[in-house]
């Protein structure tokens, strides 16, 4: 009796300890969960763009998150002259959100509060390895106004927004002048 | 493998002067059109576009006139299906995507739309056996998509459309008015022949971009032809030097043919210049209107390329 109680207790604790998946997509097929830009396509179990020179959004429809961890896997196939692969979190509009951007030269986080000019660079890491052609993983842990960024399994950034601009918002993947495939994305509770 | 260089024009099934395909009767006889164009330029191909001017069955019968004339003058007819459909807007409005822009367009995701268009393809195939079938016309779709007047078509839905219509014919698959932005789309790779929309490059004289687009297209499709358009959408002439320059670039970058879109020419001349292009051309075998210099330049370019062999991938 005592033993089974312990097992039940462990089980309950495991349930409470594990993160809850709030959203997940492995791009097995195109669903209506996303509003996709013109040349974005879902096939071969990926979200794909092969065209350079465009800015394209994949906007997750009808979902908003507060504290959460956003993770995913993508492959960069080619950078254009102004290339950037971005994860816009706590998205309220294009220029009312936080942007985690991968560039050929590294990664960085910006905050926008109403216009392009309002953009503030909150921090980043110059390292061409992060933007190298090939496969990468990322994870952003968003807790209140502290953002931890993991690239390829390693924590690279810990950023605090002193302005505490946005506590909640949606999720957009934005692709500027980059050919890529995006394998999976997951949002979990923290 | 070498093949005769494709010298083509794009025409409205009804030889109309309105780009929205809303004239439900033949304005000129296809035999007269094919005869004049053959004599004037030596063309070997006509893209003939069905945009729902009439019912599917009537369209099939009118296509018969084009194929008959094509046979008489050794001109290959490539039937092309547009999503624009004024007939269905009147008779079967459920097939039209709601608020699909200034002209009604069928919703290609619907089974009944596939069946109606499949009927056209199957009938044309069994009666006239074309070598190529244009199962998609990109211009209106592109404009409506950009404007948000038409739903996003998923890759699987586009592939289903192409596969379904393609299964109704032995012809190879063609696309007309292929748009530069869409070259990388997975489903576009299903087409063997693409008639490239080059309008913006000639209008803006962006020759490097024309070169880039043409090279990329030549890598995607087995055959391509490029439009030597002579006017802009607002009634302005694109001077003759541009068609000459464009023809040179297109050829250097690997097209297997040239094209000129008579639908927009007839439309713009009618509405912006007060000219009846087809009546002018067919009355005496030459076009004598305001843009005759550019028009004649294209005719001359076509004549120079008669009998020229193109390299087919």
Residues B44, B158, B59, B47: what is their CA dihedral angle, to the nearest 10 degrees?
-10
Residue B169: both structure tokens together: 């014919």
Q: Residues of A14-40 as b/e, b for ≥16 C-beta within 10 angstroms?
A: eeeeeeeebeebebeebeeebebbbbb
The reply to whether CATH 2.60.120.560 applies to domain A21-189 is yes
In chain B, where the domains are located: 2-311
Percent of chain B with pLDDT over 70: 97
Residue B156 to residue A51, Cβ atoms within 8 A? no
Residue B61 has pLDDT above 90, yes or no: yes
Chain A residue nearest residue B147, CA to CA? A38
Rounded to two decimals, the ipTM of the complex is 0.79
Q: What is the pLDDT of residues B151-167, one digit of tens each?
A: 889 999 999 999 999 99
C-alpha to C-alpha distance for B303 and B190, rounded to whole angstroms: 31
* B92, pLDDT greater than 90: yes
Q: Is B82 exposed, middle or buried (0-12, 13-18, 19+ CB in 10 A)?
A: buried
**pLDDT value at A13 more than 90:** no
CATH of domain B2-311: 3.20.20.80
B94-150: pLDDT as tens digits: 999 998 777 999 999 999 999 999 999 999 999 999 999 999 999 988 888 888 888
Interfacial A residues in 40-69 facing B (CB < 8 Å): 41-43, 48-51, 54
Q: What is the pLDDT of residue B148?
A: 84
Cβ of residue A38 closer than 8 Å to a chain B Cβ: yes
Using an 8 Å CB-CB cutoff, list chain A residues near B150. Answer: none
Quickly state the pLDDT bin for B313 (edges 50, 70, 90).
very low
Phi, psi of A141 (to 5 degrees): -100, 115
**Cα distances (Å, whole numbers) of residue A126 to A70, A88, A150, A157, A180:** 21, 19, 14, 11, 21
CB atoms closer than 10 angstroms to residue A102: 24
Indicate yes or no: CB of A51 within 8 angstroms of CB of B183: yes
Are A39 and B146 an interchain contact pair (Cβ–Cβ within 8 Å)? no
């Amino acid at each position: 009796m005592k033993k089974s109680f312990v097992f039940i207790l462990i089980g309950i604790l495991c349930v409470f300890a594990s993160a809850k998946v709030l959203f997940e997509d492995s791009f097995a097929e195109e669903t209506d969960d996303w509003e996709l830009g013109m040349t974005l396509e879902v096939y071969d179990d990926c979200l794909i763009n092969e065209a350079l020179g465009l800015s394209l959004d994949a906007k997750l429809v009808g979902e908003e998150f507060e504290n959460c961890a956003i993770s995913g896997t993508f492959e960069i196939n080619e950078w254009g002259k102004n290339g950037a692969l971005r994860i816009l979190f706590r998205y309220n509009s294009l220029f009312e959100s936080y942007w985690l951007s991968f560039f050929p030269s590294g990664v960085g986080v910006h905050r926008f509060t109403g216009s392009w000019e309002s953009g503030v660079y909150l921090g980043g890491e110059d390292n061409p390895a992060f933007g190298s052609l090939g496969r990468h993983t990322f994870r952003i842990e968003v807790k209140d106004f502290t953002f931890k960024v993991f690239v390829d399994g390693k924590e690279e950034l810990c950023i605090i927004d002193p302005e505490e601009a946005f506590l909640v918002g949606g999720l957009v993947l934005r692709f500027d002048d980059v050919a890529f495939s995006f394998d999976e994305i997951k949002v979990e509770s923290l | 493998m070498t093949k005769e260089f494709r010298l083509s024009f794009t025409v409205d099934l009804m030889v109309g002067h309105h780009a929205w395909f809303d004239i439900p009767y033949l304005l000129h006889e296809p035999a007269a059109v094919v005869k004049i164009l053959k004599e004037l330029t030596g063309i070997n191909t006509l893209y003939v576009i069905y945009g729902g001017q009439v019912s599917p069955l009537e369209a099939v019968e009118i296509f018969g006139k084009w194929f008959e004339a094509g046979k008489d003058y050794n001109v290959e007819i490539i039937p092309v299906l547009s999503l624009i459909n004024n007939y269905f807007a009147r008779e079967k409005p459920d097939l039209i995507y709601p608020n699909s822009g200034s002209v009604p367009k069928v919703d290609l995701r619907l089974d009944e739309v596939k069946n109606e268009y499949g009927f056209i393809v199957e009938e044309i195939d069994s009666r006239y056996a074309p070598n190529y079938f244009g199962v998609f016309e990109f211009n209106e779709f592109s404009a409506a998509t950009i404007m948000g007047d038409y739903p996003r078509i998923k890759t699987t839905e586009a592939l289903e459309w192409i596969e379904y219509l393609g299964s109704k014919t032995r012809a190879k698959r063609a696309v007309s008015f292929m748009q530069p932005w869409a070259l990388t789309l997975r489903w576009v790779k299903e087409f063997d022949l693409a008639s490239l929309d080059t309008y913006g490059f000639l209008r803006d004289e962006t020759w490097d971009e024309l070169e880039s687009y043409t090279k990329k297209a030549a890598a995607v499709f087995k055959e391509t032809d490029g439009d030597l358009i002579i006017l802009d959408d607002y009634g302005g002439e694109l001077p003759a030097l541009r068609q000459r320059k464009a023809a040179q670039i297109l050829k250097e970058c690997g097209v297997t043919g040239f094209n000129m879109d008579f639908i927009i020419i007839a439309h713009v001349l009618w509405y912006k210049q007060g000219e009846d292009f087809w009546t002018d051309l067919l009355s005496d075998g030459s076009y004598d209107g305001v843009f005759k210099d550019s028009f004649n330049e294209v005719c001359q370019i076509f004549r120079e390329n008669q009998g020229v062999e193109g390299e087919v991938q």
